[in-house]
Amino acid sequence: MDRSIPAELFRKSTYSQPQNCVEVADLPDGSAVRDTQNREAGHLMFALAEWAGLVASVRQGE
């Protein structure tokens, strides 16, 4: 399901590095992620459980 998400909902991820920047929008039903340097390409949607699993893995260094 692709939908338009207002730009002001996106924030730079705290896990971003200068060469690898992503922006995240926290939404009621999950999260949207987009490439900071290629915003016009759109975003990827992750359901709540998927996003929580990804964040947990990153925090554990996986």
Mapping DSSP onto H, E and C, the string for 9-60 reads: HEEECCCCECCECEEEEEECCEEEEEEHHHHHHCCEEEEHHHHHHHHHHHHC
Q: Supply the pLDDT for residue 19.
A: 72
Is residue 54 assigned to a domain? yes
In angstroms, the CA 43 to CA 32 distance is: 6
Based on the structure, what is the number of domains in the chain?
A: 1
Average pLDDT over residues 34-47: 91
Is residue 53 assigned to a domain? yes
Residue 1 has pLDDT above 70, yes or no: no
Q: From its phi and psi, is residue 61 left (phi > 0), alpha (psi between -120 and 50) or beta?
A: left
Residue 39 has pLDDT above 80, yes or no: yes
Residue 2 has pLDDT above 60, yes or no: no
Its pTM surpasses 0.85? no
Tokens of 9: 């909902």
Q: Supply the pLDDT for residue 21.
A: 86
What residues contact residue 47 under an 8 Å CB cut-off, 6+ apart?
A: 29, 30
- Percentage of the chain beyond pLDDT 90 is 52
Is residue 1 assigned to a domain? no
Is residue 49 assigned to a domain? yes
Q: Which structural domain, as residue segments, surrounds residue 36?
A: 7-59
